Amino acid sequence: MIAATAIGISLFIASLILHLAMLRLAKKLSPPGLAPTGLRLTGGSLLVLISHMMVAVVFAAGFAWAASVGLGGFAKEPAMSPMDYYYFALITVTTVGLGDIYPTDHLRVIAGIASLTGFILISCTAQYVYKTMSQQED
């Protein structure tokens, strides 16, 4: 459980750094007055979408690695493919959690951290959208 927690925290830190860098890039590429608010928000939202998808890749790699070293597995037949790891990470980070694939053993700890990470990143994204929409045009 300690190893799974350490892996989950490492994935959280990597995801947070990645997401904040993408939000900074979105803010830098869309200053007020450069384009209408709707266009700036659309461009920034596209970068944020890419960021969330990249965070899912980070967690998918973490899940695959943790499973390969024996920290747990997934209740799914046949064996997990790279797309299955990505799919599971994406539905976990977005907090949808459909339940068709679920982790076993210590991977459940990483999945919980992934959900909390997703919630935090979605909150950061909401703040970015709010600030972008509330900025006055020059």
pLDDT in tens, 85-136: 999 999 999 989 888 899 999 999 999 999 999 999 999 888 887 887 776 5
| CATH 1.10.10.10 is the classification of domain 2-134 | no
Domain spans of the chain, in order of start: 2-134
Return all residues near 124 (Cβ < 8 A) that are at least 6 apart.
19, 20, 23
Spatial separation of the C-alpha atoms in residues 59 and 40, rounded to whole Å = 29
Q: Pick the residue with more confidence: 30 or 23?
A: 23
Task: Give per-residue pLDDT as tens, 43-69.
Answer: 888 998 999 999 999 999 999 999 999
* Residue 27: both structure tokens together: 């803010």
Highest mean pLDDT among 9-13, 34-38, 120-124: 9-13
